[in-house]
Amino acid sequence: MKKQIKLSLSLLVLISTSYGIAQDMGTIEFISDELSAVINKDAKVEKIADGCQFTEGPLWIEKESMLLFSDVPANTIYKWTEAKGKEVYLKPAGYTSTESRGGFMGSNGLYLSKKGELLICQHGDRRIAKMDAPLNAPQTNYTTVVGEYDGKRLNSPNDLVMSKKGDLYFTDPGYGFEKGMNDPKKEIPFQGVYKMDKKGKVTLQDDRIPQPNGIAIFPDKKTMIVASTDGEDKGWFKYDIDKSGNLKNKRVFYNVAKEKGMGGCDGLKIDKSGNVYATGPDGVWIFTKDAKLIGRIKFSRLSVANLAFSPDEKIMYITATNNVFRLKMK
């Protein structure tokens, strides 16, 4: 989610309609020829789903040939297939209480565990939960994976990733609160990056990012990247992962605080070669593992929130404002 999006959802829809935001199909900018190694020069971005409020958390499920993605304000996870298009997969997806509320209450980041379980960042319920049902027969039955730190309820878990050894890392900004950062229900005074080990112990890894967001592990399994949505440190930080799985040696990977484009730094993914695909101002920023900017997928009038790959990394799925896009890269 983006802190700088201060418009109400209804006004955002009005502006989208009036100015043709839905027609912003995205263009590929080749800053370096290195980008042609992963994206063909003639590749085109295509829209595959629309009509949502704010799309997030795309996850391709190869076994079912389906894309799952969150519509956060609608409290819904949709599935998309080539045959049937967009269909409701889970509702409610992130807020299961009967007490009425608004805001970004639904699910956000989605993750498929090694056991084939769907893990869900649930803003409204302020936890990471597991769906207790098969992927091909979804049910709104959830079990809490992690919902507290130091005896206090989390803010609104946003994104997550699991290491090969089974440590679960996640970010916990405050975007899910109905009344913003001053919501009286907020129990933790900061927005953290956390690790939960296989025994369920939760440890704080970083409390100095104003709004931590996307998170991913590099192929070397020794380094991690975390997005900082906005502010003076808007961009991405890199960490070393020590032998105990803790994050050390924090440093700037790339800073975009001076960029004035649409959207903040949100979800991201890393391919098998270590290239980083990170949503940021005006679209997806593409870097080498050494933070060299080699290209962008530009959406000048949409707020791009997240992306996902097919297993062979030849197809990218992008969530942007009320749409989902597909890019056949190779």
In DSSP terms, which residues pair with 168 in a beta bridge?
162, 196
Distance separating alpha carbons of residues 220 and 32, to the nearest angstrom = 24
Distance separating alpha carbons of residues 288 and 104, to the nearest angstrom = 33
Average pLDDT over residues 53-59: 98
Per-residue pLDDT reduced to its tens digit, 69-87: 999 999 999 999 999 999 9
Per-residue pLDDT reduced to its tens digit, 282-318: 999 999 999 999 999 999 899 999 999 999 999 999 9
DSSP SS3 for 34:
helix
Per-residue pLDDT, 23: 55
Both structure tokens of 74: 């609608």
Give the CATH fold of the 9-328 domain: Neuraminidase (2.120.10)
Q: CA quadruple 221, 276, 35, 46: dihedral positive or negative?
A: positive
Identify whether the C-beta of residue 190 lies closer than 8 Å to the C-beta of residue 212. Answer: no
Distance separating alpha carbons of residues 281 and 173, to the nearest angstrom = 19
* Of 285, 328, 316, 322, nearest in space to 70 by CA: 322
Per-residue pLDDT reduced to its tens digit, 121-142: 999 999 999 999 999 999 999 9
User: Which of 5-9, 57-61, 270-274 has the weakest average pLDDT?
Assistant: 5-9
DSSP SS3 for 89:
strand
* Residue 212 banded pLDDT, cuts 50, 70, 90: very high
Average predicted confidence (pLDDT) for the chain: 93
Per-residue pLDDT, 58: 98
Both structure tokens of 198: 């296989």
β-bridge pairing 107-112 and 304-309: unpaired
pTM to 2 decimal places: 0.93
In DSSP terms, which residues pair with 285 in a beta bridge?
278, 296
Average pLDDT over residues 231-241: 97
Distance separating alpha carbons of residues 55 and 1, to the nearest angstrom = 10
Q: Would the pLDDT of 44 be above 60?
A: yes
Average pLDDT over residues 171-187: 96
Average pLDDT over residues 263-269: 97
Per-residue pLDDT, 14: 37
Phi, psi for residue 181 in degrees, rounded to 5: -70, -15
